[in-house]
Structure 1
Amino acid sequence: MIARIWRASATPEGADGYERHFTGAVLPSLRGVAGHRGAYLLRRDADGRVEIEVMTLWDSMDAIRRFAGDDPATAVVEPAARAVLLGYDTTVTHHTVSVSHGDLQ
């Protein structure tokens, strides 16, 4: 399994807007991609700003390419997400999940 990780920052209001976008648009889209195994939206409020981290889980790099396109290191950030974020990474990192515990095995 491969974890795809992306980071962004927002105001508290922007983070709330991104959460709505994530649950209303991103998750339904991901569910339709073969090889997608799950997703997490992490939020850390600090000093009036919010750090956002998205981790999606995949069966393979081929599955990631079905979602992200030919360059899987490029972040997929839709205009609706860009509108509510202060900043975001334009690239992602990929990590092999070497140990997993829980319902996403």
Structure 2
Amino acid sequence: MIARIWHGKTNKSKFDEYSAILEKIAIPDYQKTDGFKGLTFLRNIVGDEAHFNLITYWENMEVIKNFAGEDFEKAKYYPIDNDYLLEFEEKVQHYEVFASITI
């Protein structure tokens, strides 16, 4: 299994609003890709910025390419992100998942 990790940030004032956007737009987009295994959304506020870390889990790298395209290391953004994100990080990170436990 492969974990794909994305980071984004908004103004603190848009913390809850952008969270709702992610739930409404991003999560259904991931779920419609065969080989998607799950996700973890993390968020926090640091100073005046709201940070979002998204960890998605995928069957393998080919599945990620089906979702993100051949340039699978490039971050995928949605048009509405222009109204929220303070910057657009170009790349995401990928890690092989060798152990995972949830309680």
TM-score by length of 2: 0.91
Question: What whole-Å deviation, never above 9, does each CA across 1:18-62 have from its counterpart, x for those lacking one?
Answer: 211211111111111001011121112111211211111101001
Q: Specify the SS of the correspondent of 1:88.
A: coil
Partner of 1:81: 81
Aligned to 1:30, what secondary structure does the other structure show?
Answer: helix
Letter in 1 for 2:47: D
Q: Is the 8 A contact 1:12 1:48 kept in 2?
A: yes
Q: CA deviation at 1:15?
A: 2.8
Greater shift, 49-58 or 15-24, is seen at: 15-24
For 1:3-82, list aligned pairs within 5 A. Answer: 3-82=3-82
Once the two structures are TM-superposed, the CA of residue 82 in structure 1 deviates from its matched residue by 2.6
After TM superposition, what 4+ stretches of structure 1 lie above 4 angstroms from structure 2? none
Task: Please list every run of 5 or more consecutive structure 2 residues that lacks an aligned counterpart in the other structure.
Answer: none
**TM-score with structure 1 length normalisation?**
0.89
C-alpha separation in 2, matches of 1:31 and 1:72: 17
Structure 1 unaligned runs (5+)? Answer: none
Identical counterparts, % of pairs:
28
Aligned residues: 103
Q: Is contact 1:7–1:88 with CA below 8 Å preserved after alignment?
A: no
CA separation in 2, counterparts of 1:67 and 1:35? 10
Instruction: Name the residue aligned to 1:100.
Output: 100
1:91 deviation in Å? Answer: 0.8
